[in-house]
């Protein structure tokens, strides 16, 4: 489990997004308000963005976010118009290390998952591996359900380069329902292709973890945000309905699609 946040708008310093809000991800690491299956998010943190060449970049640290003495300085220096970040609470059989710390990136996408898949290492992992090409399988560095979900999504997009991201996400949710063999799955996802943010709020056999979005926050004028818990006390945060895909586009109003 973890807490996720994402930003899309005018370029801002990482600190403004990650550290400054009254209920920032840093605060959610030690004082989450809506985390159900854990009490702390102290098993690492990370953030991802696109550099000036629009190449995905990522920084991850398996230590608690509050313990990194370099973060305040780094966060004041880095600026981007798109951020995805998370603080982690590790689930069983998933070691705390760099390879297992989100977000994950490839040459195009940023990806973060809040949730877990029961019996993943016993059942579901092999079902996913059976669908992956050797090339995609070789990119997996850790052993988390989250990274395998990212690999499965990328495989869908590799197999059909014309497939819209939202369609691939819907297919992934259908596939997980088959691969999970009836086991409980919490499947909140946040993804970016560098132009838009996509979020999924979904679960099988349980309630979906909390997820919110806003397009009208005084602290982030003109921006669109997603977060597991509201970053500010603005009344304009809305809950993403369960079993929906949310699309945030800087040129369009928010769009919700049913799974």
Give the residue carrying structure tokens 């359900």. Answer: 145
Q: Are 227 and 212 in contact (CB under 8 A)?
A: yes
DSSP E strands: which ranges in 212-251?
A: 212-214, 224-227, 238-239, 244-249
Look at the block and give the residue holding tokens 């880095």: 78
Q: Quote the CA–CA distance of 28 and 14 in Å, as a whole number.
A: 16
Instruction: Report whether 179 contacts 199 (CB < 8 A).
Output: no
Give the strand pairing for 244-249 and 79-88: unpaired
Cα distance between the two ends of the chain: 22
Burial grade of 187 (CB within 10 A; 0-12, 13-18, 19 or more):
buried
The set of residues, in sequence order, having a beta carbon less than 8 Å from that of 163 and lying 6+ positions away, is: 156, 157, 171
Task: Kindly name the residue from 1, 2, 151, 153 that is annotated as catalytic.
Answer: 2
- Confirm whether 2 is a catalytic residue: yes
Catalytic residue annotation: 2
């Amino acid at each position: 489990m973890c807490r996720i946040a994402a930003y899309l708008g005018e370029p801002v310093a990482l600190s403004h997004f990650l550290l400054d809000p009254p209920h920032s991800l840093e605060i959610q690491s030690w004082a989450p308000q809506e985390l159900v299956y854990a009490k702390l998010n102290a098993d690492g943190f990370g953030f991802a963005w696109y550099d000036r060449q629009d190449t995905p970049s990522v920084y991850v640290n398996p230590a608690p976010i509050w313990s990194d003495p370099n973060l305040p300085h780094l966060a004041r220096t880095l600026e981007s118009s798109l951020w995805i970040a998370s603080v982690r609470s590790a689930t069983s059989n998933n070691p705390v290390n760099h390879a297992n710390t989100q977000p994950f990136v490839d040459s195009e996408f940023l990806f973060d998952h809040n949730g877990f898949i029961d019996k993943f290492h016993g059942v579901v992992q092999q079902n996913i591996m059976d669908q992956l090409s050797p090339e995609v399988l070789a990119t997996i560095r850790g052993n988390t359900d989250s990274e395998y979900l990212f690999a499965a999504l990328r495989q869908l997009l590799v197999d059909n380069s014309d497939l819209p991201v939202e369609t691939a996400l819907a297919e992934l949710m259908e596939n997980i329902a088959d691969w999970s063999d009836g086991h409980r799955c919490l499947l909140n996802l946040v993804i970016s292709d560098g132009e838009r943010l996509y979020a999924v709020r979904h679960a099988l056999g349980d309630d979906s973890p909390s997820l919110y979005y806003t397009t009208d926050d005084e602290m982030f004028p003109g921006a669109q945000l997603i977060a597991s818990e509201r970053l500010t006390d603005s009344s304009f945060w809305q809950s993403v309905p369960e079993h929906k895909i949310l699309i945030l586009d800087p040129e369009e109003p928010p769009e919700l699609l049913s799974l």
